[in-house]
Amino acid sequence: MFNDQRSGIRPMVTIEKSFDTIPSIKIVFLTCFVLNLLAISQISQASALSCDDDNAAPIGTLFEDMDGFFVGSNGCAYDPSLFKAENITAVEPTNGSTLENTTPIFVVNGGFATLDELINRLQATADAKQRPVIGIYNAYLDLLGEFLKLFDLINPSAATFRDEAFEQINDGHRVTLHGISQAGFIISRSLIQLKFIIWLYNPFSESRRNELIGLVDVEVVGGLGVYFPDGPRYVHYVNERDWLPYLSGIMIPNAHPGEGAVIATFNYQNEDCSDDPGSLLWEDYPGSNGSFETGNHKFGLNVHSLCAYSVTGYPYDALRDFAPEVGYATVPLELGFQIE
């Protein structure tokens, strides 16, 4: 689990009210350009070699053909039109301890990510959160394809979570969604669509609609996207050294992080993250070259990567304790602990 002596949350909470806005076309183009610069792998034809399930997508399936697929243990990818999450073996924490919460977290990866990179993220998330994890693959496309995701109203990854979440919350189950970087756009789109479907099925009962959407827990990590619909319970992580949330994310003036959202802020950079952006796990945080110094915003994997955002190992419920009833709360995280 988590060692509270190694991490702390300063109770310096800023409550603010936000208003909706739409990013300019310049910001969208700049964001796409930066994401392309941050790409760390080339497009290839590969599924997980470790998968031994004949029902999964065959090894060699194109990434683009697995867009929106579930990803479970051993890197097996499953078509959501054929399989429900309950039929998929989730990625489990590696320490083998008895889990207090056995409900899987759904994880959507950021842009330009290979399936192997998502698999690494799933294991890191399972270990940090001590919960099972199922991926939703935001497929690696070419530059144009990645750019069009910013406008795609029928994004496959958004649709996968929308449909799975609608079924689960109607059965009274709480669902948790976690996404990094470009996944913020996808999460926003998915939740907007989910709220609309809930309204279609419950047009005359506002209390029922609020009850259902309130069963959705969301963590957005260095996410893009400026509008997140009210209802779900949000935690947004923002590295204040990272430019992207300030250019096309919730740190844009008048962005809407969702009513009652918690924005967890911190300062962190680590040049080691540029060399291996997915290697640093929560138990190794902050890393031998990690720095908590404040400074100017930057572009790069040293401030915007799975490695730089390993702080998402913080317990979700501990941060949600700061959630206000109106507006949103900004919670500075205190990360200056020493490596033992």
Question: Could you tell me which residues come within 8 angstroms of residue 91 by beta carbon, excluding any fewer than 6 positions away?
Answer: 72, 73, 119, 122, 123, 126, 132, 133, 134, 135
On whether residue 304 sits in a domain, the answer given is yes
Question: Does 339 fall in a domain?
Answer: no
Picking from 137, 141, 136, 109, the residue whose alpha carbon sits closest to that of residue 42 is 141
3-state secondary structure of 327: coil
Q: Between 113 and 22, whose confidence is greater?
A: 113
Residue 2 counted as domain residue: no
CB-based contacts of 7, cutoff 8 Å, min separation 6: 314, 333, 334, 335, 337
Write out pLDDT tens, residues 133-183. Answer: 999 998 877 777 666 777 777 899 999 999 999 999 999 999 999 998 889
How far is Cα 185 from Cα 228, in angstroms, rounded to an integer? 9
In the chain, how many domains are there? 1
Quote the radius of gyration of the chain (alpha carbons, Å): 19
In a domain, 113, yes or no: yes
3-class SS of residue 21: coil
Lowest mean pLDDT among 23-37, 53-67, 307-321: 23-37
Residue 82 DSSP symbol? T
DSSP string, 148-211: HTTT-TT-HHHHHHHHHHHHHHHTT--EEEEEETTHHHHHHHHHHHHHHHHHHH-TT-HHHHHH
3-class secondary structure per residue, 255-307:
CECCCCCEEEEECCECCHHHHCCCCCCHHHCCCCCCECCCCCCECCCCCCCCC
Residue 187 lies in a domain: yes
pLDDT of residue 130: 87
**pLDDT, greater one: 258 or 12:** 258
Q: What is the pLDDT of residue 45?
A: 35
Mean of per-residue pLDDT scores for the chain: 81
Nearest to 217 by CA among 86, 331, 112, 319: 319
Do 124 and 135 form a contact (C-beta atoms < 8 A)? no
Average pLDDT over residues 42-65: 72
pLDDT tens profile 294-326: 888 878 888 888 777 877 778 899 999 999 999
Other C-beta atoms closer than 10 Å to the C-beta of 5 total 8
Does residue 3 belong to any structural domain of this protein? no
pLDDT band at 214 (very low <50, low <70, confident <90, very high): very high
Q: What is the pLDDT of residues 219-262, one digit of tens each?
A: 999 999 999 999 999 999 999 999 999 999 999 999 999 999 99
* pLDDT of 38 above 50: no
Residue 247 within a domain:
yes
Decide if 333 contacts 265 (C-beta within 8 A): yes
Locate 186 and state its tokens: 């996808």
The distance between the two most distant Cα atoms of the chain, rounded to a whole number of Å, is: 56
pLDDT digits (tens, 9 = 90+) for 71-87: 999 989 999 999 999 99
Least confident range from 123-132, 188-197, 284-293: namely: 284-293
Domain presence at residue 23: yes
Confidence (pLDDT) at 25? 45
Q: Angle at which helices 183-201 and 156-170 pack, to 10 degrees?
A: 40
Range of the domain at 71: 8-334
- The reported pLDDT for the residue numbered 39 is 40
Residue 88 · residue 134 · CB < 8 Å? yes
